[in-house]
Amino acid sequence: MRVFIAEKPALAKVIADALGAGVRKDGYIQCGSDVVTWCVGHILELSPPEAHNPAYAKWNAADLPLKLRPAQYQPKENTAAQFKVVQQLVGQATEIVHAGDPDDEGQLLVDEVLTYCHSTCPVKRVLINDLNTAAAKKALANLRDNREFLGLSQKALARSIGDQLYGFNMTRAYTLAARKKGIEGVLSIGRVQTPILGLIVNRFNAFQNHSAAFFYSLSANIDVTGHRIVPRYQVPEGAPVDDKGRLIDESVANDVATACKGQPATVTASQTEEKSTPAPLPFSLLDLQAHMSKKFGLSAQQTLDLTQSLRENHKAITYNRSDCNYLTSEQFGDAAATLAAITIALPALAESLSEANPAQKGRAFDDKKVSAHTAIIPTTTAPNPTNMTADERQVYQAIATQYLAQFLPEKRYLAASATFAVNGHAFVAKATQTTQDGWTTLLSGAEDSEGESLEEAETTPFAALSALRNNDEGVCESVTVSKEKTKPLPLYTEATLLKDLQRVAKYVKDPKIRQLLKDRDAGKTGEHGGIGTPATRASMLETLQKRGFYTVEKKKLIPTELGLSFIASLPEIATAPDMTALWHEQQQMIEQGSFTVDEFLDALEDFIASQVNNVDLSGMSDGVPQTQSSQRPRLTAVCPKCNGAVVISAKVYACSGCDLKVWGEVASKKLTLPQVETLFSKGKTAVLKGFKSKAGKPFDAKLVLDTATGKVSFEFENKK
C-alpha cells in the first residue's frame, strides 16, 4: 500500500483529488490502493527536559546546563489522535510519499514522523507549492527519492534542537539568578525572541536619548513665463551635510539665499513623463498583520488567529501562514471564480468588482517568485459573512480587497520636473497630475507590500511646470531658508516592528554577519535579512508582553523597567540578531554535507555552558521592583509539577520552583481564587460558566490541569 503523508489536510485533499476516486475515512482518504493521510503542521514536538531526567521538572541551577541529547520526541497533545492514524498507516505501508511543504521545515515535519515510527520502507518525495489539482497532478508525475533531501531535513533538525537547548538553558539560568534577587516571573530567552525585545529596547533608548540637531532646507520663489515655481535647493557634493545629505551649516544656507536673490533663473532640464503604478501585491501574513494593526488595532496574534478561523472554519481563504506575496499561473485561472465568490460575500464592493477584469494578469502572478506557499487570497468558496464575527469580516474584507485590486486598472499619472540654474546653484521642482485613479479608488493610501512608494510631488502647480522648456528664463525673487530639527526614529508600533523584523540586517554592525542575514532571505519576497517567521513573530510578541517585558501605550511599544534592565544585563550575542546569521551559515554547511548536526550541537553546548556559568544580573537591581517571594501572596495548594510554592500576581499564578503557570483569565473568563485553588489541588475544577470561544460564543466547561506539562485544557460534560 502506498501512503501519502501531507503536511496539512488541505494539501491531502488536493492530492486525493489528483489521484481520483477518493473516499473519506477517519483521518485519511482512500484512493483505490493508495491512501492519503496528513499531519497538522508539526504533530510531534521535542520532549520537555523532565522527559530526559525527572529531576529537571524542578528548576535547579546545579542541573545547568541541561543535558537534552539525544533529542526525544512526543506526539502533540492536541493532534495525538491524528498522529495515531498516521502511525498506523505508516506501519502498513509498502511505500511512502513524503508530501511536506517544499522547504526545510516541511521536509523535517514528515521526516521526523517517519523516524519516530521506525519506518524502513522506501520513501518518495513530491513537491507541491500550489493547492490545486492541476499542479498536484504535475508534481505526482515527477516523484523523487526522499534521500535527495536529507541535507534540507538535517538543516531544520539542527535549528530545532538548537533552539530547544539554547532556550531552556538560558531561560532557566537567568530566571533562577533573578529569583535570588527577588525578581519574580520567567526571564525567557530565545534566539529570535530576545533580539526582538532588544529592538524594542534599543529603539526606546534611542528615542529617549535623542539629541536634536538642526539642518536647513532652501526653496526658491521663481517667476518664469508668468508662473510662480517653488523648486527645492539641490545640495552639491562637498557641502557640509549630515548622514542623510541635509545641509547643516546655517551660514552656507544664508549665503546661497543671498547669492540667488534677484538673479536670473534658467531652465536647464525639463521633462514630462507618463508613469503608472501597479496595485500593491496581495498580502503575506506579515503584511496582513501590519495592515490590521495599523488600521484596526488588532495584534499580530489576533490576526493570525482570525485567519486560522477563516481558513479552517469558513474555508474562505488560502493558506494563512504564508511569507509570500505572489501567486501562481494556475491560480490566475481561478480568478473569475474567486472574484465571483467575493461578489457574493461582499456586496459592498460591487462597484469595484464591476470594473475588475479577470483576464488582466498583473505582476502578482509570477511562478518564479512563489515560495513554499502563495499569497493569502480568498478561495473560490463564497463564505457567509453573517456566520463570521466582526473581526473575521474585517480581515476577510482586507484580504479580498487586496486581491480585487490586482484586477483593476493601474494608477496612471504625468510626472513633470524642471531644473533651474541660479547664479551657479541648482534648484529642482516636481509636480504630478493623475490621469487615471485605477486601483487607488479601492485602496486609497495603500503601501506596496515590497516597500515601493508612490512618487511624491511638491507644491508647484502641474500645469505651470509642465509648460516649461529648456532655456526658459525667469527671475529668482527670493530664497526661503527653513531651519528644521532632526527627529528620532519613532517608537515602534506593532505594525512598524513587524515590518522591521523583515529587515533587521540593517542594524547589524559586522558586514559579514549582515550579509549572512541577507543571504538567508535570498529569493524571499518581502524579507531582506529578517529574523523569525510570520507565524512565530506574533506568538513571540505576545509572550514578551505577557511576561512583562513591554507594554502598549497608544499603540506604541514601551519597554518596562524589567525589559530595559534585562536587555542591559544580557551579553550582546543574546540580544542581537547575529546568532541567527551565524546559525544560518553553519546550517547551510549541514545542508551541503560539510558539517554535521552533532558538530553543530556540540559547539552550541560548549557555548551554552560558558553562558550559564557566567550569568551577571548585577545591573538588574537598579530600577526593577524587588519584591521578595516571601512577601507575595501564595496559594494554599502547591505546584503539582514540583511541589513548589505558587505565587499570586495580578494576572498569573506562577510556581516559584518551575515554569508552571496558570493565567488568571482563560477564554475571556476571570478565575476566582477558590477556582484556582481547586485546579491546583485537585487538577480539575467543577463545571464553570462564562467562557467565550474565539468566535465570541459562550460555553461551559471544566478546567483540567495536566500535572506533567502544566497545560490547562477544557473538559466538556456529555449531555444526554
Q: Which helix (H) or strand (E) holds 354?
A: helix 350-355
Kindly report whether the peptide bond that precedes residue 65 is cis, defined as omega within 30 degrees of 0: yes
> How far apart (Å, rounded) are the C-alpha atoms in residues 234 and 223?
19
Q: Is 522 exposed, middle or buried (0-12, 13-18, 19+ CB in 10 A)?
A: exposed
Helix (H, G, I), strand (E, B) or coil at 265: strand
Amino acid found at 501: L
> How far apart (Å, rounded) are the C-alpha atoms in residues 112 and 477?
76
What DSSP assignment string belongs to 243-261? TTS-B--HHHHHHHHHHHT
Helix (H, G, I), strand (E, B) or coil at 661: strand
Phi first, then psi, for residue 218 (nearest 5°) are -125, 140
> How far apart (Å, rounded) are the C-alpha atoms in residues 22 and 20?
5
Q: How far is CA 183 from the centre of its chain?
A: 31
Q: Which helix (H) or strand (E) holds 6?
A: strand 2-6
Phi first, then psi, for residue 348 (nearest 5°) are -65, -20
Phi first, then psi, for residue 672 (nearest 5°) are -85, 160
Amino acid found at 79: T
Instruction: Provide the strand spans (E) within 544-598.
Output: 550-553, 556-559
What DSSP assignment string belongs to 462-508? HHHHHT--TT-EEEEEEEEEEEEE--PPPPPBHHHHHHHTT-GGGG-
In DSSP terms, 114 is beta-bridged to: none
Query: Which residues, 6 or more positions from 59, have their beta carbon under 8 angstroms from its beta carbon?
Result: 172, 175, 176, 642, 657, 658, 659
Residue 560 · residue 550 · CB < 8 Å? yes
> How far apart (Å, rounded) are the C-alpha atoms in residues 413 and 433?
5
Residue 357 · residue 346 · CB < 8 Å? no
Annotated active-site residue 233? The verdict is: no
Residue 58 · residue 42 · CB < 8 Å? no
Helix (H, G, I), strand (E, B) or coil at 351: helix
> How far apart (Å, rounded) are the C-alpha atoms in residues 363 and 572?
41
* Active-site residue (options: 28, 216, 319, 413): 319
Kindly report whether the peptide bond that precedes residue 70 is cis, defined as omega within 30 degrees of 0: yes
In DSSP terms, 415 is beta-bridged to: 273, 432
> How far apart (Å, rounded) are the C-alpha atoms in residues 176 and 420?
68
> How far apart (Å, rounded) are the C-alpha atoms in residues 235 and 243?
13
Q: Dihedral of CA 535/540/546/550: which sign?
A: negative
CA–CA distance from 140 to each of 125, 134, 214, 574, 695 (Å)? 9, 10, 64, 44, 38
How far is it between the farthest Cα atoms of the chain?
A: 95
Active site residues: 319
